[in-house]
Structure 1
Amino acid sequence: MAVRQRALATLPSLIRSLRKESSPKPPNQALPSLRRAFSLYDQINLIDNVPDDQLRFQGYTDTGFTVNGVEYEGSLLCVGNLPLSWSPKKFSEITADTLSIFQIVRPIPEILILGCGRYTERVDPELQRFIRSTGMKLEAVDSRNAASTYNILNEEGRIVAAALLPYGVSS
């Protein structure tokens, strides 16, 4: 008990001495340069160094997309690293039949990014059930964000698919 009381009595003086030893930094000290701190990023630019066999959306218009330097008109279906012409011309034409390729493609993509055109649309529950039955998750967004999301997930090495209507399509 006496040892504990002695320790408790010396604790405040120990704290005071520690406070005196640690001097505060000057208030106007410059922060370290973020450029120097992250210089490794400057040397490894993943976005510009995409492998030739990997799809990358580079642009979009109201009528199509630019993928790996090639301009595509109309809707696109991207499975693996293969862009395919896709038949739907408006959101209401997207059905289980137009996405039936996902019943046979292997490996099954973990996610299908559905580009709805200019605006995000509500996906029919029956179509949602069909997509879930294939083992994929569904993300429905406008086509501009769908292309961007596809790029990010594909660059991460994820198995991803995209079904995109041109950006100019609206309901």
Structure 2
Amino acid sequence: MAVRQRLPDLIRSLKRELNPRPSNRLLPSLRRAFSLYDQINIIDNVPEDQLRFQQYTETGFKVNGVMYEGSLLCVGNLLMSWSPQKFSDITPDSLSIFQTVRPIPEILILGCGRHIQPVDPNLRRFIRSTGMKLEALDSRNASSTYNILNEEGRIVAAALLPYGTTS
């Protein structure tokens, strides 16, 4: 008899577990969620000795608080002025430093200026012969990609034309 009385109670409790009553709990506010995200901003915590593109202009780039005019070549955390003034000036000779640099960067990010340009097949073959992969982007996205890969600790190089460069 006692088992028969417990069976309906057991069935009711199982139904409650399967179909719980909707709770009236509020979702966390978006304001709180965004404030937590802002506290976990890892991109601002970059070591001072690491290159970081902060701004681009029609004629140059701002890197670690210093404004540079003209084209730039970055290898790891080394920054140097680069001679090409337009995309058609980029040749295997202008990138010949990569035949001697060690360790070889895993990727060369080529900032083409304002617009992405098709890369000459001879230039592509030269870059592959050094052991690097090539990514051609507009200079704005190229500088951002360089920042991200460099912050990850990857060995990366960037050859960037100013944003005002069109061909």
What TM-score do the two structures reach when normalised by structure 2? 0.84
Q: 1:18 to 1:132 in 2, by over 3 A?
A: farther
Residue from 57, 61, 80 that aligns with 1:61 = 57
Is 1:97–2:109 an aligned residue pair? Answer: no
Q: CA deviation at 1:71?
A: 0.4
User: In the TM superposition, what whole-angstrom CA distance separates every residue of 1:93-117 from its partner, at most 9, and x where no partner exists?
Assistant: 0000000000110111110000000
Q: CA deviation at 1:28?
A: 5.5
- 1: distance between equivalents of 2:119 and 2:133? 13
- 1: distance between equivalents of 2:23 and 2:92? 63
Matched residue, 1:147: 143
Q: 1:93 to 1:25 in 2, by over 3 A?
A: farther
Is 1:87–2:75 an aligned residue pair? Answer: no
Runs of 4+ in 1 over 4 A off after TM superposition: 16-20, 33-38, 41-44
Gaps of 5+ in 2: 1-11
Q: CA deviation at 1:47?
A: 1.5
Q: CA deviation at 1:30?
A: 2.5
Matched residue, 1:8: none
Q: CA deviation at 1:27?
A: 7.0
What is the aligned residue count? 157
Matched residue, 2:125: 129
Q: CA deviation at 1:73?
A: 0.2
Matched residue, 2:8: none
User: In the TM superposition, what whole-angstrom CA distance separates every residue of 1:106-138 from its partner, at most 9, and x where no partner exists?
Assistant: 111110000000000000011001001111000
Residue from 132, 136, 152 that aligns with 1:156 = 152
Give the 3-state SS of the residue equivalent to 1:89 in structure 2: coil
- 1: distance between equivalents of 2:15 and 2:72? 65
What TM-score do the two structures reach when normalised by structure 1? 0.82
Letter paired with 1:71: M
Matched residue, 1:170: 166
Gaps of 5+ in 1: 1-15
Percent identity over paired residues: 77
Q: 1:25 to 1:88 in 2, by over 3 A?
A: farther
Letter paired with 2:73: L
Q: CA deviation at 1:86?
A: 0.1
Q: 1:37 to 1:57 in 2, by over 3 A?
A: closer
Is 1:45–2:47 an aligned residue pair? Answer: no
